[in-house]
Amino acid sequence: MAELLNPASGCGDPGSNVVACLRGVTKRFGVGTTEVRALDHVNFEVRKGELLLLVGPSGCGKTTLLSVLAGILDASDGEIEAFGVRVDKLDQAGKTAFRRENIGFIFQQYNLLPTLTAAENVAVPLLIHQQPYHEAIERARIYLEKVGLSDRAGFLPSTLSGGQQQRVAIARALVTEPRLIVCDEPTAALDGETGQMILRIFRTTALTNDRSIVVVTHDNRIFPFGDRIAEMLDGHILSIHENEYAPAHGQSPAPHHDHEAPKP
C-alpha cells in the first residue's frame, strides 16, 4: 500500500506533479463496539491535470475519501495536504476559505437551488466570493455557454433535464476556476449516453489549466475517461491503475470503446 504514495513526490511543492495527498488517513464513525472505520490508514495522491476515478463497492469509503480530500469532513487521524496547505490543520473557517478558493463540487443530485435560474445557480460560487450580482451573472453565462446551455440561462432547474442540470452543476463547479473538482457519482442519475456526454465535458472543458478532477463512480461505462482508476475496498485503496486508453486532454475517448471494470 505504501507504494501508492511516494513520500518523495513533493506534494504541494512548487513544480511538483502532485497537487493533493493523504498520508495515513483514518476516518472513524461511531465509538466503542459501534465504531466503523470508513478509511483505514489511506495513502493517496492526486496529480496535476488528471481525471482520477475512485471506484469500488458501496460502503467501501469512496465518498468519505472524497469528503476528507475536499475538506468537508474531518479525518480522525493522518495528514491531508493540498496545494501546499495542511488541510487537516485548518480550523473550520480555514477549511471553508480553502474550499472556496480551491475546490469545485459536483453532486449526484446536482443540488441546484430550485428557486434560482440556471445562470443564478452557476453564479452562486461567485456570489460567495462577493462578486457583484450582475458581473457574476455575466460570467455565469460564459460558463453555461461552455457546457452548451447558453439558451437555458433563464430556466429554473425544474424545467431542465437531468443531463442539463448536471451540465449546469459542472458550469457552477468551473465558474471560479478551482484547481480541484470533486464529483460524487455525477452520472448515477443519468442514462448511459448522457453520462458519457458529461464525462466528455469533463475531459474537453473541465480538465484544462492543470485542473484535476476526482470522480467517485460505480459507472463502469465512464472508466475509459479516467487517467487513473483507484479501486477501494473496506476503507483501503487496493490498487491504482494507469488507464492506457485515456484520451489526451481536450479529447474524449473513441465512441463504443469497451472497457471492463477493474476487478478487485
Partner 1 sequence: MLRVAIKMLMGDKSKYLTLVSSLMVVSFLFLQQGSIFCGLMLRTARPVEVVGAPIWVADPQLRSVDENKPLLDTDLQRVRSVPGVKWAVPMILQLVAVHLPDGNFQTVRLYGLDNDTFFGRPRMLSGDSSLLTQDEAIVIGNAEKEKLNNPRLGDILEMNDTEARVVGIADVPRDFFSYPFVYAAYNRALQYAPQQRKQMNYVLAAPVESLPIDQVTRNIRQVTGLAAYTEQQFRWLTIGYYFRNTGIPISIGISLAMVFMVGMSIVGQTFYQFALQNERYFGALKAMGTSSLTLTRMILLQAMIVGLVGFGSGAGLGGIFGLIAGGQDSKIAFATPWPLLVISFLLIMTICLLSAFISIQKVVRLEPAVVFRG
Question: Alpha-carbon distance 93 to 34, whole Å?
Answer: 30
CB of 63 or CB of 164, closer to partner 1: 63
Closest CA to 190 of 164, 209, 225, 211: 164
Shortest distance, position 134 Cβ to partner 1, whole Å: 11
| 78's grid cell | 493522518
Whose Cβ is closer to partner 1: residue 50's or residue 185's?
185
Residue 120 gets the label, from left (phi > 0), alpha (psi -120 to 50) or beta, of alpha
Q: Is the CB of 10 or the CB of 57 nearer to partner 1? A: 57
The CB-of-107 to partner 1 minimum distance in angstroms stands at 6
Q: Which residues are at the interface with partner 1 (CB under 8 A)?
A: 63, 66-67, 70, 72-73, 92-93, 96-97, 99-101, 103, 105, 107-109, 111, 113-116, 120, 124-125, 127-129, 133, 184
Please report how close the Cβ of residue 185 comes to partner 1 at its closest, in angstroms. 9
Minimum CB distance to partner 1, residue 138 (Å):
15
Nearer to partner 1, 109 or 251 (CB): 109
- In the complex, the smallest distance separating the C-beta of residue 104 from partner 1, rounded to whole angstroms, is 8
Nearer of residues 75 and 246 to partner 1, judged by Cβ = 75
Query: Greatest CA separation found in the chain?
Result: 55
